[in-house]
Amino acid sequence: MGRKPRKNDSLPGSLDMLILRTLSLRSLHGYGIVQFIQQSSDDQLLVEEGSLYPALQRLELNGWIDGVWGVTPNHRRARIYKITEAGRQQLDLEARKYAKLTLAIARVMGAQ
Amino acid sequence: MKVFRRLKYWFDSSRRGESLGEEIEIHLAEKAAELEADGMTAERARAEARRRFGNVGLKREESREIWMTRALSELVQDVRYAWRAMAANKAFSALAILSLALGIGANTAIYSLMESILLRSLPVADPESLVVVNWRSRPPQNANRQWEHVIHGVQGILWPGDKGVLVSGMFPYRAFELFRQDNPVFSTVFGYFNGRSRTLAVHGQATSVNTEYVTGEYFHGLAVSPAAGRLIESDDDRPGAAPVAVISFAASQNRFGGAPAAIGQSILVNNAPFTVIGVAPPEFFGVDPAAAPDLYLPLRANVLVDGAGAARMYDDENFYWIEMMGRLRPGVSMAQAQAVLEPRFHQWVASTARTDGERARLPALMLNPGDAGLGGLRREYSKPLYVLLAMVGLILAITCVNIANLLLARAAARRREMAIRLSLGAGRFRVVRQLLTECVVLASLGGAFGVLFAIWGVRWLTYLFSNGRENFTLRAELNWQVLGATAALTVACGLLFGLAPALQSTRPDVLPTLKNVRGGGPRRRAQHVLVIAQVAMSFLILVAAGLFVRTLDKLHNVQLGYARDNILLFSLNARQAGHRDPEIVTFYTELRKRFESVPGVSSATLSQSSIINAGHAGKTYRGAMKIGAVPVTGARVMVAGPRFLTTMRIPVLAGREIDDRDHTGSTPVAVISELLARTYFGNENPVGRRITFVDDNRDLEIVGVSANLRNGGLKQESPMTVFIAVTQFSPEGMTYALHTAGDPLSYVNSVQEIVREADSRIPVTNVITQAAEIDRTISRERMFAKLCTGFAVLALLTACVGLYGTTSYSVARQVGEIGIRMALGARRSAVVWMVLRRVVLLAAIGLAIGAPAALIGFRLVKSLLFETQPNDPGALAAAGVVLLGAAVLAGYAPARRASRIDPLVALRHE
């Protein structure tokens, strides 16, 4: 591993959004979520694995995701998380906020 | 929703915890497998997976804490810590818990009594819409002190209202009809009057029961449903209706063996036949919390029970007797109802006035809330209860102050611990919170034991309150409201006694403590303030105890003028069993002779009531009297049988007492008391003169003069007494008195036997010794004296513990100083004095604060005292001396210890 993948700490709170986005595409277990984020960011984003579980608990407490014990595609027993309707709404909200923020940052960075 | 999910999580938090652990394990295994596939060894892969994950335990903890709020998990921590701290200091904890249990228990017990007497609603549907109809009026006497009022006769109770007005709930029957007819503000109006005790015979077994006469709307208006059968309805309450009765649930159990079995049974009430049609529900006790009638009869049935003469009551517009309540129509307020009914009543009552004097003092209608029923019990007990509550409140305050004081001393020991925690970065608020949690845990244990103590206390208080009352029905219990108040009180106590020490021991100036320098001036000041407060509060309680004990003492020393001991009293009512004039007189006097013939009975007599209750009970002549043309005022008539003065050991000063010579046909006679003779005859001999009973239009010959006696209650000035012969007066119930050798109560069986032989339909009631009969008129004073003495001892002990603790602590801190003084030649006595001086000074300051508070505060209890002023110097001085003495005693042990300090040891210690 020559390059050091960037840890997800530049935008606090964005881990929740990434998890919701991932689960909006398909239901996954914890490790699956880490892998998905890593792969789909082209290894640019590395989820701090220890932080994942508190984040999952927080999302579950808020009623945005729902975890059920089941079996992964490669036949392992795991707790599979599924996004709820409230979770989709929350994702919409956070995606909009995020778009605004990145736009604003881009404007600042683009200014001469 | 979030709260709901959180709750759900708490319910199976252990399973959730395991689940999370498993999830993380699976994650690690998967990661390790991947790393292994990349070429790592299995062992390295597992280690690397763990390394990348971070601190597994911490993350698990964090994940779990998301579900708990942080405050909650910290609370759990604090409670655990508090438990350990308490267990580490067993003696202190036990003492604190015990004293709190006593304080909280006493408060709970008194409060539950208050709740049952002052606050509780009637057990009927929608009690808030009930109102009691009362009136108020100026005093009925005109300028010449003669009665001039539309009320010509009453049957019931009048009580004083604000500013000298009279208040009552009695009305003429016509007024009840006035309110009952098309009433725009009440959906129902119902009337009732207390029938007092009547003789109830079931299957030939006669007993005396409390009876309530009720109108046909009564049960419907209260919205009560029967436990069995049906209740009294409008059709039952008409002249000539079939005689029916409703009995209480308790009576149905005792007399018929169950509610259903009672229905349709025939009973005799004062020898008149009735049929039981229904049983009231178990929780129902009528509208007066002070009474629990066993028998409810239709109003109009009083003509059957009390004789045809009772029918007059219905038409007499100037005779006040029926009481009533109304149920407000929905949406009508009490003030609106008052506005509508007041003019209506005024118009009616004005039409019943005959003279200008009567018109000048017309009663005015006044509505009162009826949700808690009639207020007799509240009027009688609200003040005593508030006084008691104030006292137990003080006791609890003293206890809290005491614990705060002990905690302050202990805070010194923990100051280093606190300083370390604070310097390691713990927030002050967090540490204070933890210390407060300790206190609340302590208080909660105290509260829990306090409730146990209160269960016993309520029983004991109920016994004290009911002392000597027949059918006293106090329904005090520890219900949810009371327990809620106790819980609140407990937490408040914990915060109260915990806050000051907690703030003290976490003061930000941690450095001196860490350096082990002796600071802490403010803490000693705080301790001193607490001790002074304790002394002042204890002083108040000691004074209260002094005042009430003195009151009781004065009452015990009242000169009765008649025998208190060796007298058995009991009542019977032959008229209620069907005896009529003139035979009833023979029956009563024959019975007296038979009692007198019982071996051991030296004499027997009878009167309309016991002497102590004369004026409150029994039928007697209450009209105007004259000697010649002079009206006699302030005299009371006692209907007495033969040998009354002999039996009661009242000396005969001139002439003779009433005896068997005075029978129905002979000259009517009277015996007057010495004061009466002196007042109206001066130095002349009254024997042979006459006294006129104006209302009966009868002249009585005075045949004797008795010594003075305290006729009526102990607190009244000895009124003048006129004894008249029972044979020459148409008597109702009678109270017999037997002068006995030995314990009067050992004669009860013989008495029962004799009465059963004479007439088995007559129950013997109110069996009691004269001494007990007198004592029960002062049961409240006895209760106060007992309770306050107990409170005073408790307060004194607590204050002593506080003083002892504080002094010991300051001696321990001054070891060095004392050592130096002694090394420089101070004598032991000087050291003792040095320590004691501070104790005495603290106590003196406490007294100086307590004394004015006592002078002001105890004015409020003046009405509860007898021949004792609230500022009684004796009580104040005694309390002061006892308190100072106790303070010196509490301070002496530490002072002595200080004087035994070896200067060498002390200085080396330094």
Place of tokens 């206390």: B457
Q: Are B164 and B137 in contact (CB under 8 A)?
A: no
Q: Identify the closest residue of chain B to A33 by CA–CA distance.
A: B27
pLDDT reported for residue A4: 41
Residues B253 and B303 placed together within one structural domain of the fold: yes
Q: Which two tokens stand for residue B12?
A: 């199976």
Q: Are residues B61 and B151 in the same domain?
A: no
Which band of pLDDT confidence, cut at 50, 70 and 90, is reported for residue B749? very high
Q: Do B19 and A76 touch (CB under 8 A)?
A: no
Q: Would you place residue B566 in the very low, low, confident or very high pLDDT band (cuts 50, 70, 90)?
A: very high
Taking an 8 Å cut-off on Cβ atoms, the answer to whether B66 and A63 are in contact is no
- Cβ of B2 under 8 Å from any chain A Cβ? yes
Interface with B, mutate which of A4, A28, A31, A80 (most B CBs under 10 A): A31
Name the B residues in 65-94 with CB < 8 Å from any A CB: 66-67
Query: Who wins on pLDDT, B246 or B88?
Result: B246
CB contact under 8 A, A76 and B52: no
| Residue B365, strand partner residues | B135
Residue B770 lies in a domain: no
ipTM score here? Answer: 0.84
Given this model, what pLDDT does residue B705 score?
A: 95
Nearest to B362 by CA among B583, B625, B151, B555: B151
What CA dihedral angle connects A100, A103, A108 and A112, to 10 degrees? Answer: -150
Is pLDDT above 60 for B545?
A: yes
Does the structure show a pLDDT above 50 at B520? no
Token pair of B133 as six digits:
């109809």
Q: How confident is the model at residue B504 (pLDDT cuts 50, 70, 90)?
A: confident
Q: What is the DSSP letter of B128?
A: G
Do the bridges between strand B698-706 and strand B319-320 make them parallel or antiparallel, or are there none, so unpaired?
A: unpaired
Q: Which of B529, B538, B549, B499 is nearest to B396 (CA)?
A: B538
Distance (Å, whole) CA B196 – CA B208:
10
Answer whether B747's CB lies under 8 Å from B662's CB. Answer: no
Return d(Cα B110, Cα B114) in angstroms, integer: 6
pLDDT average, residue stretch B862-870: 87
Is residue B566 assigned to a domain?
no
Tell me what the mean pLDDT of segment B45-67 comes to.
80
Burial zone of B156 (CB within 10 Å; 0-12 exposed, 13-18 middle, 19+ buried): middle
pLDDT of the residue at B810:
81
The token pair that represents A15 in the structure block: 């881990």
How do residues B579-591 score in pLDDT, each as one tens digit? Answer: 988 899 999 999 9
Domain boundary among B337, B371, B405: B371
Q: What's the Cα-to-Cα distance from B799 to each of A72, A105, B105, B536, B886, rounded to whole Å?
A: 72, 71, 19, 10, 9
pLDDT for residue B265 is more than 90: yes
Q: Which tokens is B616 given?
A: 């409150």
Percent of chain B with pLDDT over 90: 40
More confidently predicted of B69 and B113: B113
Q: For residue B166, which phi and psi values (nearest 5 degrees)?
A: -105, 145
What are the residue ranges of helices labelled H in B506-520?
510-514
Judged against a pLDDT cut of 70, whether residue B909 lies above it is answered with no
As a whole number of angstroms, the distance between CA B324 and CA B366 comes to 12
Taking only the tens place, the pLDDT of each residue in A50-106 is: 888 888 888 888 889 988 888 877 787 888 999 999 999 999 998 998 889 889 988
CA B575 to mean position of chain CA atoms = 36
In this structure, are B469 and B513 located in the same domain? yes
- Within 13 A of B522's CA, how many CA atoms are on the CB side? 9
On the question of pLDDT at A48 being above 50, the answer is: yes
- Cβ neighbours of residue B344 closer than 8 Å, sequence gap 6 or more: B178, B179
pLDDT of residue B474: 66
Phi and psi at residue B778, in whole multiples of 5°?
-120, 30
Query: Using CB atoms, which residue from A49, A57, A60 is nearest to B53?
Result: A49
Task: Identify whether B582 is preceded by a cis peptide bond (ω within 30 of 0).
Answer: yes
Count other C-beta atoms under 10 Å from residue B797's C-beta. Answer: 16
Cα–Cα dist B784/B790, whole Å: 10
Q: Touching check for A80 and chain B: CB below 8 Å?
A: no
Query: Does residue B513 or residue B321 have the better pLDDT?
Result: B321
Of residues B19, B31, B66, nearest to A31 (C-beta): B31
| Percentage of the residues of chain B whose pLDDT score is greater than 70 | 95
CB contact under 8 A, B24 and A53: yes
**Are B156 and B216 contained in the same domain?**
yes
- Asked if residue B774 is part of any domain, the answer here is no
Q: How many residues does chain A have?
A: 112
- Given this model, what pLDDT does residue B155 score? 81
Which of A112 and B382 is assigned the larger pLDDT?
Answer: B382
Q: Residue B467 — pLDDT band, cuts 50, 70, 90?
A: low
Contact yes or no for A31 and B30 at CB 8 A: yes
Cβ of B463 under 8 Å from any chain A Cβ?
no
Instruction: Find the residue in A nearest to B26 (Cα).
Output: A78
Tokens of B430: 């967090």
Q: How confident is the model at residue B473 (pLDDT cuts 50, 70, 90)?
A: low
pLDDT, residue A10, reads: 47
Domain termination site, one of B371, B392, B420: B371
Shared-domain flag, residues B217 and B300: yes
The verdict on a CB contact (< 8 Å) between A63 and B2 is yes
What is the band of B472 on the pLDDT scale with cuts at 50, 70, 90?
Answer: low
CB contact under 8 A, A57 and B19: no
B497 vs B3, higher pLDDT: B497
Phi, then psi, of B720 in degrees rounded to 5? -70, 145
User: Per-residue pLDDT tens for B798-811?
Assistant: 888 888 888 887 88
Counted residue by residue, chain B has a size of 910
The string over B364-380, giving b where at least 16 C-beta atoms fall within 10 Å of a residue's C-beta and e elsewhere, is ebbbbebebbbbebbee
Give residue-wise pLDDT tens across range A16-35: 888 999 999 988 888 889 88
Backbone angles phi, psi at B788, to 5 degrees: -70, -35
* In a domain? residue B569: no
Any idea what the Cα angle at residue B836 is, between residues B833 and B842, rounded to 5°? 140
Task: State whether B66 and A57 contact (CB < 8 Å).
Answer: yes
* Arithmetic mean of pLDDT over chain B: 87
Is it the case that residue B907 has pLDDT exceeding 80?
no
The answer to whether B67 contacts A54, with C-beta atoms less than 8 Å apart, is no
**Would an 8 Å CB–CB cutoff place A7 in contact with chain B?**
no
Domain identity same for B863 and B898: yes
Same domain, B81 and B143: no
In chain A the first and final C-alpha atoms are separated, in Å, by 37
Instruction: Report whether B896 contacts B847 (CB < 8 A).
Output: no
B198 & B342 share domain: yes
Counted across chains A and B, CB pairs separated by less than 8 A come out at 61
C-alpha B356/C-alpha B354 separation (Å) is 7
pLDDT digits (tens, 9 = 90+) for B110-158: 899 888 888 888 888 899 999 999 999 988 877 777 778 888 888 877 8
Residue B767 lies in a domain: no
Residues B438 and B352 in one domain: no
Which residues of chain B are within 8 Å of residue A69 when distances are taken between CB atoms? 19
B60 touches chain A (CB under 8 A): yes
Strand partners, A57: none
Give yes or no: residues B609 and B588 share one domain: yes
Q: What is the DSSP string of chain A?
A: --S-PEETTSSTTHHHHHHHHHHHH--EEHHHHHHHHHHHTTT-EE--HHHHHHHHHHHHHTTSEEEEEEE-TTS-EEEEEEE-HHHHHHHHHHHHHHHHHHHHHHHHHH--
Supply the pLDDT for residue A3: 39
B833 — contact with chain A (CB < 8 Å)?
no
The least confident of B71-75, B374-378, B614-618 is B71-75
Q: Does B316 or B63 have the greater pLDDT score?
A: B316
> Is B26 an interface residue toward A (CB < 8 Å)?
yes
Residues of B in contact with A87 (CB under 8 A): none
Distance CA B604, CA B233 (A): 47
Question: Which residues of chain A lie closer than 8 angstroms to B5, CB-CB?
Answer: 60-61, 63
What is the arrangement of strands in the sheet containing A28-29, beginning at the earlier edge strand?
Answer: A28-29, A77-83, A65-71
Separation in Å, CA of B76 to nearest CA in chain A: 21
Distance CA B225, CA B123 (A): 12
Q: How many domains does chain B have?
A: 5
Summarize pLDDT for B619-663 with one digit per residue, the tens. 888 888 999 888 888 889 999 999 999 999 999 999 999 999 998
B866–A contact, CB cutoff 8 A: no
SS3 label, residue B377:
helix
| Residue whose C-alpha is closest to residue B219's, from B367, B337, B327 | B327
pLDDT digits (tens, 9 = 90+) for B154-201: 887 788 877 778 888 999 999 999 999 888 999 999 999 988 889 999
How many angstroms separate the CA atoms of B63 and B19, rounded? Answer: 12
Q: Are residues B599 and B742 in the same domain?
A: yes
Residue B772 domain flag: no
Residue B449 has pLDDT above 90, yes or no: yes
- Domains annotated on chain A, with CATH: 6-110 (1.10.10.10)
Q: Which residues of A touch B2 (CB under 8 A)?
A: 61-63
**Per-residue model confidence (pLDDT) at position B743:** 93
Hey, is the C-beta of B57 within 8 angstroms of any chain A C-beta? Answer: no
Check CB contact under 8 Å for B27 and A50.
Answer: no
Give the 3-state DSSP-derived string for B252-284, with helices as H, strands as E and coil as C: HHHHHCCHHHHCCCEEEECCEEEEEEEECCCCC
Which residue segment(s) compose the domain that B691 sits in? Answer: 574-761
CA distance linking residue B648 with residue B626, whole number of Å: 27
Instruction: Give the lowest-confidence range in B306-320, B542-556, B662-676, B839-853.
Output: B306-320
Sequence-separated (6 or more) residues with CB below 8 Å from residue B444: B490, B491, B494
Residues in a beta bridge with B654: B705
Pair B609, B658 in one domain: yes
